[in-house]
């Protein structure tokens, strides 16, 4: 796709961060927007900003993207009120708990996977028939640089973002002969509130989240226009991308542990050297 004027663009997680930046960028390009976020107040704030930029129709809906029924209802509402979607940006996501795997409950993995992975699956599948009906369109699925490498205290989050990568790369091949372009985004350290709920989230944000959301959004729009399918972009993104294929797994694991060691709680890791297995238990 080259032009977005009067095209219907669907964006999940539009209440803040990259999602809000996508909404404002596409509003400036004359798109008709359908916006989602879990937090109604944040979504309404984005809607106010969009209306300051554009007088085109705008649809908003606050719901959990991990709820299949709500996502399919949203797609039906978009079709009925705005027409078929042309671009779908599955951006919504949450952080993990920021703990090592032995301290996480199964519910953490289930929660993060439901939102980060199944939210992308539902968003893609709910809107894909509309894109195909148009004879043109784009699907943008947001993974992470943590969908390229595994990192300590992020096994729940990494699992979900690796899953997004696998799903999207398979979708690319399936739609190779179609008029639909598929794009996989691996953001690096983008300045959002993604880590705010995790253990040591403030320290992580200060150390790594340095690239402005507007910068990566500009790159994503270029990818949609050019047809480039993978984007790895943001603070330290190139470094992690290189590590994902240029280093042996053993060396990469050592490097990543040293890089993030100052964010790891020694009490949590004491269990590894505790014969009784008591240290680090919640």
Q: How is 24-84 classified by DSSP, letter by letter?
A: HHHHHTT-EEEEEES-HHHHHHHHHHHHHH--S-EEEEE--TT-HHHHHHHHHHHHHHT-S
DSSP class of residue 139? Answer: E
CA distances from 236 to 116, 180, 191, 209, 264 (A): 22, 30, 13, 9, 19
Radius of gyration of the chain measured on its C-alpha atoms:
19
CA atoms within 13 A on the CB side of 171: 23
SS3 (DSSP) at 114: helix
Please give the structure tokens belonging to residue 67: 């709820």
Catalytic residue among 157, 208, 233, 269: 157
Tell me if residue 157 is catalytic.
yes
Report the catalytic residues: 157
């Amino acid at each position: 796709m080259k032009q977005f004027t009067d095209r219907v663009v669907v964006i999940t997680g539009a209440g803040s961060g990259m999602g809000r930046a996508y909404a404002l960028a596409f509003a400036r390009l004359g798109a008709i927007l359908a916006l989602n976020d879990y937090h109604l107040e944040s979504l309404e704030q984005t809607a106010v900003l969009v209306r300051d930029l554009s007088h085109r129709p705008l649809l908003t809906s606050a719901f959990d993207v991990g709820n299949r029924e709500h996502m399919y209802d949203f797609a039906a509402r978009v079709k009925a009120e705005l027409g078929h979607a042309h671009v779908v940006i599955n951006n919504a996501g949450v952080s993990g708990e920021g703990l090592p795997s032995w301290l996480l409950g199964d519910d953490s993995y289930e929660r993060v996977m439901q939102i980060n992975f199944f939210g992308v699956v539902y968003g893609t599948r709910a809107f894909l028939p509309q894109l195909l009906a148009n004879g043109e369109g784009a699907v943008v699925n947001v993974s992470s640089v943590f969908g390229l490498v595994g990192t300590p205290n992020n096994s729940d989050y990494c699992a979900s973002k690796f899953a997004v990568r696998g799903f999207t790369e398979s979708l690319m091949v399936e739609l190779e002969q179609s008029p639909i372009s598929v794009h996989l985004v691996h953001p690096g350290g983008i300045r959002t509130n993604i880590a705010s709920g995790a253990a040591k989230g403030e320290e992580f944000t200060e150390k790594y989240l340095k690239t402005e959301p507007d910068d990566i959004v500009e790159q994503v729009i270029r990818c949609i226009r050019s047809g480039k399918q993978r984007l790895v972009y943001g603070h330290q993104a190139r470094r992690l991308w290189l590590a994902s294929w240029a280093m042996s797994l053993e060396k990469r694991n050592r490097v990543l542990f040293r890089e993030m060691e100052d964010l790891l709680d020694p009490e949590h890791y004491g269990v590894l050297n505790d014969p009784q297995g008591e240290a680090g238990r919640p």
